[in-house]
Amino acid sequence: MVRISPTYSEILVSSLPAEEVMKKALRVTREMNYLDPISFESHEKHLFNGTVHNDTFHLSLKTENADSFIPLIRGKVETTRKGCILFLHYSFFPSTVFFLGFWIVATFFMMLFFLTLQLDLKLAALCLVAGMGNYWFSSMHFMRKVKQSQKALHHMLDLQPNDPR
């Protein structure tokens, strides 16, 4: 299967038991009902919106404004003898993948139109550059948001490096 959207994966090892990791995730995660205006009231203690189940979770970083580049974090926790292992996968939300794919296909067909029917190389090149620029912009902002989400997730799990200051 070909992926058109950027993704990122990481594996974290924790000395905490899996149950403790899931309790921490549950404490800082709020399940959202996007059709209920009361759900949008600010809750300071929550870092994430999403769902937490027995050994899996789906989270996204809480934001004040809509942000298409916030990654969806899918996590799975497996128990080990001395703690647990977290398998994390960061990806765009499905709607963002749809619109990114739509614009890739649209700019590709516009490029073909200008190359074949209009015979205008400048506009064809402009469509190609616009499609590639859109993908590059999306990828760069996605990776920036992945780093923000990682920082919050690592802080929640007490995995952040000690600040020497």
Q: 125-161 pLDDT, tens per residue?
A: 999 999 999 999 999 999 999 999 999 998 888 765 4
Phi, psi of 96, deg, nearest 5: -70, -40
pLDDT for res 120: 92
Give the pLDDT of residue 163: 43
Q: How far apart are CA 110 and CA 51, in angstroms?
A: 40
* pTM (whole model) above 0.75: yes
Amino acid letter for position 60:
S
Give per-residue pLDDT as tens, 28-53: 888 876 555 555 555 567 788 889 99
What is the reported pLDDT for 5? 86
Domain coordinates in residue numbering, the chain:
7-96+151-156
**Which pair of structure tokens corresponds to residue 46?**
């929550």
CATH architecture of the domain 7-96+151-156 equals: 2-Layer Sandwich (3.30)
Tell me the C-alpha distance between 34 and 36, whole Å. Answer: 6
